[in-house]
Amino acid sequence: MGKPTGFLEYKRVEAKERPVQERIEDYNEYLLPYDEEGLKIQSARCMDCGVPFCQAGLIVDKQTVGCPLSNLIPEINDLVYHGRTEAAYERLSKTNPFPEITGRVCPALCEGSCTLGEHEPAVTIKDIERFVADKMILSSDTKPRFPKIHTGKRVAVIGSGPAGLACADLLNQLGNDVTVFERADRPGGLLMYGIPNMKLDKSLVLKRAELMKAEGIKFVLNAHIGSGYSFHELIQAFDAIVLCLGATQERILSVPGNYLTGVVTAMSYLTGATKELLAGRSLKSPLLDAGGKNVIVVGGGDTGADCVATAIRQKARGVSQLEIMPPFPHYRKSDNPWPLWPAVKRHSYEQEEALAFFGRDPKEYETTVKEILGTSDGRVTGVKTVKVSWSGENGKNTAQEIAGSEQIRPADLVITALGFTGPEKVLLEQLNLEIDNYGTPETENINYKSNLPMVFVAGDMRRGPSLVVWALMEGRQAAKQCSDYLKNA
């Protein structure tokens, strides 16, 4: 605790954003850097709370309490308050392998369980984390860490998303010879192609990958396991394999017309936009270019929000985001008490941008698609929507269509952002992995081992679609279990 009375003296001040009219003209990050003196004041708000729920990393009644990585947040805040940024980074890195990433894309589960947040706005933990990481990473003060021992064991990590990178990082530090296989042309998985550049600059992902290479980790890109690389060959070449392939099977919009040209999934849309950006050229695929088009985004989550923000930057004629659920309340409900993660309405960067660009909020709640309309030659022209109301008994809510609320909306591009159902089924069948009732590989609860000898599973592939911070936790835990297995192999 930096200053005993800090939480009484200072108000919460969040990181500033670039002006909307400026940032929608490019794909640069929309958040501005935080100044060091301002962060010292914010870190002073961390109070001597006795039990820091912010770092608990627990699941209570299927809801999250605190940071899944169990970052030692009060200690970090204290070091920042005293100007010891390098020491703060060292402390943060003991539990969090990539704070420059979580400081941008994590929803700050820690802040939801901040003790100060029970009565006042929580400590700006996420902003402090981003500041500490950026000061070290962007200034090149972070040097490669080399393992102190070498076990001689070879481990293949399949997938370079957050779980795969976290797993490879720790396995390497534990002295193993690690090779990461990634089917895309760049490392990062979801971090590279599932999150747009204005939220997470891709130079940070590539910089982290280069640092990992300097530490001895090998990356094999454009590696398609099951075709270019046989799984049998990997079993022969490595002492252990960790599967971190994510939950990349996108949920399909099951309505008439979903086959029409102009209906695309969120991942294909965001991946295409990022690839073109990294290639240094404007979009050339008419199918993935929202410029001059009426765009309908189906799905109200973060991925759908990123599609809205991308379409705005592509100069769409108009964008609507349809969400079947009602909006979150502005304040906690009685069944969502502190220190559980607060299910409340939050600031959304793309809504602010749409208000400036189109003059209206793009998000429409309690609205769903009944049909996608098109021309005789198979090109999308619009969607038929209907409003719904929610009711139910015994804790089970159901949506009922509201009579007379049907509406035809013009659309030249329909982007489906309905979430993910689990790992891709073809790969699961090729590997002969046992599957549980949720469609994910069956693993022993605490050791991440699959039914196959020497094969471990981690991340979204194991737990289902989740947050980046949970994937990092899973990757690190799987690395520890895999390392223990190798010691006895």
| Band of residue 394 on the pLDDT scale cut at 50, 70, 90 | low
CATH number of domain containing 16: 1.10.1060.10
Residue type, 256: P
Same domain, 123 and 107: yes
Q: What's the rounded Cα separation, in Å, for the pair 298 and 296?
A: 6
Give the start-end residues of each E strand in 305-356.
318-322
Question: Which helix (H) or strand (E) segment is 20 a member of?
Answer: helix 20-23
Residues 130 and 199 reside in one and the same domain: no
Which one of 402, 418, 434 terminates a domain?
A: 418
The answer to whether residues 87 and 28 belong to one domain is yes
Question: Do 81 and 63 have their domain in common?
Answer: yes
Q: Do 26 and 282 touch, CB atoms closer than 8 A?
A: no
Specify if 144 maps to a domain: no
Domain presence at residue 190: yes
Nearest alpha-carbon partner for 182 in 197, 167, 170:
167
How, if at all, do strands 455-457 and 363-364 pair?
unpaired
Same domain, 196 and 215: yes
Question: Domain ends where: 75, 103, 137?
Answer: 137
Q: Answer for the pair 450, 456: CB distance below 8 angstroms, yes or no.
A: yes
Q: Does any domain span residue 370?
A: yes
Q: Which domain holds residue 115?
A: 6-137
Q: Are residues 326 and 199 in the same domain?
A: no
Q: Residue 284: pLDDT band by 50, 70, 90 thresholds? A: low
* Alpha helices per DSSP H over 373-467: 425-431, 460-463
Domain closes at, from 392, 418, 444: 418
Query: What is the domain-level CATH number for residue 381?
Result: 3.50.50.60
Radius of gyration of the chain (CA): 23
Specify if 1 maps to a domain.
Answer: no
First to last CA, the chain: 45
Q: Is residue 105 part of a domain?
A: yes
Question: Using CA atoms in the order 424, 428, 429, 430, what is the torsion angle rounded to 10 degrees?
Answer: 100
Cβ partners under 8 Å of residue 150, min gap 6: 175, 177
The count of domains in the chain is 3
The answer to whether residues 255 and 292 touch, using CB atoms and an 8 Å cutoff, is: no
Residues 100 and 79 in one domain: yes
- Copy the structure tokens of residue 277: 């950006």
Q: Are residues 273 and 413 in the same domain?
A: yes
pLDDT tens-digit profile of 189-219? 999 999 999 999 999 999 999 999 999 999 9
Q: What is the pTM of this model?
A: 0.94
Query: Packing angle between helix 202-214 and helix 125-137, nearest 10 degrees?
Result: 60
pLDDT in tens, 141-165: 778 999 999 999 999 999 999 999 9
- What is the CA 180 to chain-centroid distance, rounded? 20
pLDDT of residue 282: 58
Structure tokens at 226: 């099951």
Residues 264, 209 share a domain: no
* The two structure tokens encoding residue 62: 């299927």
* Same-domain pairing of 230 and 176: yes
* 426 and 374 belong to one structural domain: no
**Residue 145 falls inside a structural domain:** no
Q: Which residues pair with 242 in a beta bridge?
A: 157, 456
With b for 16 or more beta-carbon neighbours within 10 A and e for fewer, the 277-287 pattern comes to: bbeeeebeeee
How many angstroms separate the CA atoms of 479 and 485, rounded? 10
Band (pLDDT 50/70/90 cuts) for residue 469 is very high
